[in-house]
Homo-oligomer: A and B are copies of this chain.
Amino acid sequence: MKTMLPASTSPGTLVDGMTATRPYHHGNLREELLREGERALESGGAAGLSLREVARAIGVSHAAPRRHFADKQALLDALAEAGFARLGADLDRVVDEAGPGSGEQLAALARAYVSFAGAHPALLELMFAAKTQADAPPQLRDAAERAFAAPLAVIAEGQARGDIVAGYHERVAKFAFATMHGLVAMANTGMLPAEATDAFIDEASVHLMQGLRPR
């Protein structure tokens, strides 16, 4: 995380002759792998991400990433973990800023989740896949849990206030999450009309609270 080293010089700046050699110590490789890895992820999905291509883009040998990430999955897991930290920060913030009603808070969470998904679709897909791996690393599970702490609290507090139907709050939260997960999957695969996604999400928040029976 420390960025006290001189900003990593791009290989291009060194090529003033055929004999120019790259500096032996790259210095910042781990951060650069994460940055370039996320770029590659968004451009072609987790399956399409090539570790060798990421290494080439940074200008190190294809074996260099191994010092920092044991294999491709380790890089993906690290990207997912960082993603959960950012998503969690977003969700915490919008709950703080939203009004006191559960409906409002859930709608704000829905907007923030969909907004994150729109900005980083492949990352969010990876995050879901990574955390549901049978052998997901504990740090990843913890980051995911922290990210969803705010939504879970919104549900529990809504129940305490009588805004939300009674029942084990984790089960109610899982239902709400299923709806969000489905909406985001549809939005990111073009199943929702792009120009009306916001309106659709707001309508969905109402359906989530009010249900599909007539009112």
Contacts and interface: CB of A to CB of B under 8 A. Distances in A.
Contact of A212 (B132, B172, B192): B172
Nearest to A103: B213
A111 to B, nearest CB: 15
Which applies to chain A's interface (DSSP): helix, strand, loop or mixed?
A: helix
Interface residues of A, number: 43
Interface string A183-215: 101100111100000001001100111111111
A180 B174 CA distance: 12
Contacts of A172: 207, 212
Interface of A: 47, 103, 106, 128-129, 132, 134, 162-167, 171-172, 174-183, 185-186, 189-192, 200, 203-204, 207-215
Contacts of A182: 177-183, 185
